[in-house]
Amino acid sequence: MRLARWCALVSVSLLSLLALPALAAGTLDRIRASKSISFGYRESSIPFSFTGEDNQPWGYSVDLCLRIAAAVVKQLDLDELQLHWVAVTPANRISKLRSGQIDVECGSTTSSLARMAEVDFSLPIFADGASYLYRRTAGIRRVDDLAGKRIAVAAATTNQRTLAEILARDKLAAEVVEVGDHTQGLAALLGGRVDAYFADRSLLIGLALDAGKQTDWSLGPETFSYEPYALMLRRNDADFRLLINRELARLYRSREILSIHDRWFGFLGKPGSQLESLYQLNALPE
């Protein structure tokens, strides 16, 4: 009797294990069947991922995802592929990915070990670091001047954790104001409700340029963190991740990435040494 129960248990376990590869490789199968792919994008992460004046997604990360869509069409030999764009926020981007509402997040998300417990990431696509944007009239010149100020930061981001660590480390008594996204952070700064907005440097530059009157704004001189951006996808989907990484590596090897970079960051000049190293180190051979 015990042997029979044990055999039955082993049979069920083996069937469960056999089912895992099918679940893990489901994204490409679903794309092939539906001839559609769903991309998540940010509405205000300029210049990585944002809504343009035509209400369509634009940006550096969006361009990379368009290249990935073309790679999907080629690998699956599809005659058509519908692209569905779904707006996401820092608070819901992981849940929308895990629930299947999006297949890839094309935004400005930092690849971190903590997030890898819930999702997977592509090869890195950019490298940035946290800083702060403020009005020139705010009397802020360095991080110590943030004491007694109101600082906005997007909730559920690595920047929120970094800001808390800085304030604790330097014993700075500042009021932290949580916002939902960069649009709300910039609005709070423009409206005078906060004195500074804490986010990644490239995003802050994009926000300042988009706000106009660039001479009114200053960017903090310090960089407080290392933020390697990557495209986010569901865990345990090796085939889909390989397709994404293969296309990114091809862009890096061929140097086509430079034209995409120039389109969105040309006003800053060529890629810096850190970003150039990122491209070179991830130009994996076929």
pLDDT value at position 19?
A: 40
Q: Please name the residue ranges forming H helices in the chain.
A: 2-24, 26-34, 60-76, 93-98, 158-169, 182-190, 201-211, 238-254, 257-265, 273-281
The pTM of the full predicted model, rounded to 2 decimals, is: 0.88
Helix (H, G, I), strand (E, B) or coil at 205: helix
Nearest to 61 by CA among 277, 261, 274: 261
pLDDT value at position 286?
A: 96
pLDDT value at position 10?
A: 40
Across the chain, which distance is largest between two alpha carbons, in Å?
82
> What pLDDT tens digit does each residue of the chain (286 aa) get?
444 444 444 444 444 444 444 344 489 999 999 999 999 999 999 999 999 999 999 999 999 999 999 999 999 999 999 999 999 999 999 999 999 999 999 999 999 999 999 999 999 999 999 999 999 999 999 999 999 999 999 999 999 999 999 999 999 999 999 999 999 999 999 999 999 999 999 999 999 988 887 788 999 999 999 999 999 999 999 999 999 999 999 999 999 999 999 999 998 899 999 999 999 999 999 9
pLDDT value at position 211?
A: 85
